Structure 1
Amino acid sequence: MMIRCCCLCLILMSLDAIAQESSTPTKLAEEASTLSEPVKKDAPAAEQEKKDAPEAETKAVPEPIKLEGVFTSTEIQEVLADTEQVKTFTIDRTLPHGTRVTQGQTVIWLDADELHESHETAVRDRQLAEIAMEELHLNHEQAGRMRELEREAAERTLRDARQEFENFMHVDKERQIATAEFSLESSQASLEYAMEELEQLEQMYKEDELTEESEEIVLKRARRSVEAAQFSLESAEIRTSRTLEQTVPREEENQKTNMMKAELAHTKAIRTLELAAQKQQMEFEKEQRKLETQIRDLETTIQETERSELKAQIDGILYFGKLNNGKLGDKPAEIDHGDSLTNKQVIATIVNDQKLIVLLEIPEKHLRQIREGDVAQVTAASHPDHAITAVVLSISQVPVSNGKFACELRIRDLGAVHVVPGMTCNVEFSVQD
């Protein structure tokens, strides 16, 4: 009995094991299916996990900005005649290109003979201008005196006209009237005297019965005297009438007209003199300023022609020609004996190589990426393996050329790199987004 029970237990255990083995693949498949499905969570928990999760993406590093620059200096002197009156010069000799010069040293010699000739001409012209100035003052003084004399003459003319008018109105007019009336009265008296004398003679000779021949002659003469007196009276009456009715009124009108003309002429003369004085004064001042300017310019010319040497005002290196933003020209500048130049022409440039900076132009598209104070790495073209640290000093506010802005870099330390003004370099800026 015990043996049967044990066998039955063993059979049941075997069957149970077989059943478990047959169910294992199904469970594994269910577990795999469960792992492959995403875990469902509520929405707030999912959003929080997204915020807390670190960014898995990595940003690309921006490319550095690479530009070209040139070494120059903060202290530059352009060598030129820089005169105001002397316009042209002739070169005698110069120091060689690239010579290191010191302040006060002569770098260019001008043709002294040519300057001496110009100097002598300027001295003579100044003397002539000074003589012209004296003559101008003399003529101005004489013109003023002549105007005073003309004014006095105009015053006398007016005074004489007034006096003549007053004489006529107060004396001559009445005198002419009185003379005419007196002449008429005299003629009347003469006629009366002649008639009385004739009447007396006729009365006396009438008493004689016989008239002698001599008596007839006396009577004839007496009658002629009466006729003459009668004619004189008639003439006196005509003259008196004309004098009173025509001559005196006409003379009075003429005197008034002459007086008005004299006053107008006086007013015109005085005004003309005043205008002439103003005009002459303005012309005098104009000519005086012109001569003063001429004398001043000639004095400047004399001073300018006394200088035949152009000197260095700073220490540095002498370059022939003009530097354009620190750069030399594409062709070598040459200065030879006998070359002519103008007063404003830059002959040479002295650059202090102890105060080096870097100049470059920034394209407009990089303006927002480069600021004052930014650090740049500078590599001289002659030393490509040595980097020089520089700092942005300034950036122009307006373009210096189409789409480009001037930038100036201060060099921190050149180290073992030897460069001089005019040499080129590469400039690199690191860009941070």
Structure 2
Amino acid sequence: MKAMARGILVVRTFWLTAALVVAGGVAESVAQEPLPGRLGEITDSPPLLKLERKPEAPGPQAAAPKPESQAAPKADATKPKADAPATVKVEKGTFRVDVSVPAVFEPVKAVEVSISPKAWAQPMMVERAAGLGTAVKRGDILVDIDREKIDKAIQDAEVDLAAGELALKHAAEELPILEKLLPLDLAAAERTKAQADEDLARFLEIDRPQAEKMAAFSLKSATESLEYSREELRQLEKMYRSKDLTEETEEIILRRTRFQVESAEVYLKSAQLQSEATLKIQLPRQEIAAREAAARQALEIQRARTGLPLTLNQKRQALAKLQHDHARAAEKLADLRRDRDAMSVHAPADGLVYYGREERGAWPQAAALASKLRKGGTLAADEVFITIVAPRPLVAVASVEEKELRHLAGRADLKGLAVPTIDPALASPAHLVSLTPVPREAGKFDIVADVELGPEAALIKPGMACTLKFTTYRARDALSLPSSSVFEEEADDGSPVQVVYRPGPDGKPSRQVVKAGKVHGGRTEILSGLRQGDEVLAAKP
């Protein structure tokens, strides 16, 4: 019970003290009397045991605070003086510049795997594929492609090639014949043209004039014949009338003569019509036909002279095209067969199977390709779907910020550590081998470091993360200050100088020029101008 009472009194005393401070002061007896003594006195008082059960009226310690006029002198007596300027001391120790950057293990030897068909242009359906991370030997099957479609394409190409061979053979046999027929056809065209010219000339010079004469003569002959018959009939009738002869013989002669006259009239009419047709229709038409035939043959000979050689050249070009097409068809067939063979993809080297193309120690397409490299998935031509990675040797690649570049530039001898994320205990020696002189992206520069991984680091694989750590500068017993207490100002000649401000005995700081060295981690190395333990102002006055 005493312990409980003592605890309650401690809590009560705390809150009473807080209340007195808020009110503006603390009772003099409370401020001056040690707390343990008071607690002992209160603890020994029997009435205090009743405080556990019911509240107690405030005692003398919780009395109202003194008036401000009485508390003020006490407050003035305890008020601290104005704060002095903050200072820092020059420290002595090892000053080092450490560069630590996240990196990734990248393989030195990696072979990309893709299918680059020459003739096959369709997507390739996967039949089976090696799993991610599989260890393979050179020649092991990585991917098998379904060959059903390409087999049909090969069959079609074989049929096309056979048909092309027949067409090529026919054209090759036809061309020599055409070459021999060309002069014969030209000669025949020349003869036909000459004959047409001769026919036209003969018609104009001989046949037409002769036909015109014959038409005129036939008309004249018919006219004369009619006149002869009529005259003969008149003479007979006159003779028989004068003798009054009416014998039957005489009637026969007269009848025959009259018929001759009638026939001569009909013949004359026919001769007139025939002569008119010959002169006005037949002969003009024959002339037109002869002239057209001559003109047509003139064009035909012209066409033969130009067209037949062109036709022959056309046949030659057609033969050349057939030969070209046949060669292309044969080449396509050979390419299809090679493409078919390439659809069984074998490992080009020993190593581990990674999906996709490696980019700075990462395989960003691995997830997407995992869905393709399964039965029924499709791959595109020239798509890098697998990279065979040699697990050793490895390098660490990283991007350093521009502010760290000055610590690493020109440090081909720089050695450090590669600390694997998977197990920092496997930290291995690293050696900086290259630094890209231009940024890969804004403010980022690539570095590469060789890493010596021992057999105990077999767990580390390409693509795992690590941290590259380099100590680019180390100075023992170096003096240093917080960088916030070192300032750059102008000397009297305008050149920049590094200065610090030292506190003076009269409170007025004095400027001290120092020679600064490396700056890293918020501290600046002091090469001269100060000694260990010297105090300088923490901020610029």
Alignment TM class, shorter chain as reference = 0.5 to 0.7
Matching of residue 390 in structure 1 with residue 432 in structure 2: yes
Question: Match for residue 232 of structure 1?
Answer: 267
* Deviation of 1:238 (Å): 4.8
| 2: CA distance, partners of 1:328 / 1:120 | 34
* Deviation of 1:70 (Å): 1.9
Question: Match for residue 202 of structure 2?
Answer: 170
* Deviation of 1:77 (Å): 0.7
Native 8 Å contact 1:393 1:410 kept in 2? no
How is 1:325-404 mapped onto 2 (pairs within 5 angstroms)? 325-328=360-363, 338=375, 340-342=377-379, 344-362=382-400, 371=409, 374=412, 376-382=414-420, 383=424, 387-392=429-434, 394-395=436-437, 399=440, 402-403=441-442
* Deviation of 1:75 (Å): 2.2
Per-residue displacement from partner, 1:99-130 (whole Å, max 9, x unpaired)? 3x55x34152536xx44x55753553332122
Matching of residue 421 in structure 1 with residue 448 in structure 2: no
| 2: CA distance, partners of 1:224 / 1:381 | 146
Partner amino acid, structure 1, of 2:124: T
Shift of the 237–94 alpha-carbon distance from structure 1 to 2, 3 Å rule, reads closer
Matching of residue 297 in structure 1 with residue 332 in structure 2: yes
**Structure with the larger strand share:** 2
TM-score, normalised to structure 2, is: 0.51
Partner amino acid, structure 1, of 2:348: Q
Per-residue displacement from partner, 1:134-185 (whole Å, max 9, x unpaired)? 3433675699789999998999789668646643541543442243133124
Question: Match for residue 128 of structure 1?
Answer: 159
Native 8 Å contact 1:363 1:403 kept in 2? no
Unaligned runs of 5+ in 2: 1-94, 474-517, 520-541
Question: Match for residue 88 of structure 1?
Answer: 124
Count residues with an aligned counterpart: 365
Native 8 Å contact 1:70 1:360 kept in 2? yes
* Deviation of 1:235 (Å): 4.2
TM-score, normalised to structure 1, is: 0.62
Partner amino acid, structure 2, of 1:177: E
Per-residue displacement from partner, 1:177-212 (whole Å, max 9, x unpaired)? 243133124324423542554465356546635454
| 2: CA distance, partners of 1:340 / 1:408 | 38
Question: Relative to structure 2, which stretch is displaced further, 264-273 or 381-390?
Answer: 264-273
CA root-mean-square deviation: 5.0
Give the 3-state SS of the residue equivalent to 1:302 in structure 2: helix
Shift of the 288–82 alpha-carbon distance from structure 1 to 2, 3 Å rule, reads same
| 2: CA distance, partners of 1:91 / 1:259 | 76
| 2: CA distance, partners of 1:368 / 1:142 | 80
Higher relative contact order (CA 8 A, sep 6+): 1
| 2: CA distance, partners of 1:390 / 1:353 | 20
Partner amino acid, structure 2, of 1:338: K
* Deviation of 1:389 (Å): 2.3
| 2: CA distance, partners of 1:181 / 1:224 | 25
Give the 3-state SS of the residue equivalent to 2:229 in structure 1: helix
Partner amino acid, structure 2, of 1:78: E
Shift of the 259–363 alpha-carbon distance from structure 1 to 2, 3 Å rule, reads farther
* Deviation of 1:72 (Å): 1.6
| 2: CA distance, partners of 1:123 / 1:164 | 59
Question: Match for residue 446 of structure 2?
Answer: 407
Partner amino acid, structure 2, of 1:76: A
In the alignment, which of 278, 286, 294 is matched to residue 251 of structure 1?
A: 286
| 2: CA distance, partners of 1:339 / 1:232 | 102
* Deviation of 1:132 (Å): 2.4
| 1: CA distance, partners of 2:248 / 2:127 | 131
Native 8 Å contact 1:157 1:262 kept in 2? yes
Native 8 Å contact 2:200 2:291 kept in 1? no
Matching of residue 77 in structure 1 with residue 111 in structure 2: yes
Native 8 Å contact 2:111 2:388 kept in 1? yes
| 1: CA distance, partners of 2:150 / 2:259 | 104
